[in-house]
Amino acid sequence: MLGTYVYAPEHVTDGMRPAMMFVVVPLATLTGLCMWKQAAFRALLSRSSRRDAVAPR
């Protein structure tokens, strides 16, 4: 979709502008952030699951 938005004529991309601004760009940003910090997210999730598995005495 990004390639179409960049290389298509302007009259074709006018309808795509809101979708790009509010859906595609934020989704791509969140996906990139999750891939970048994947190790930190896994460590955080495993720490919380280990804490839940151990019952307090």
- The pLDDT tens digits of the residues spanning 16-57 come to 888 888 998 899 999 999 999 999 988 888 887 776 665 555
The 8-class DSSP code of residue 57 comes to -
Q: Tokens 């955080």 sit at which residue?
A: 44
Tokens of 56: 């307090």
The structure tokens listed for 51 are 């804490």
| pLDDT of 52 | 62
State the Cα–Cα distance between residues 54 and 15, nearest whole angstrom: 53
Does the global pTM surpass 0.75?
no
Question: Which tokens sit at 52?
Answer: 């839940």
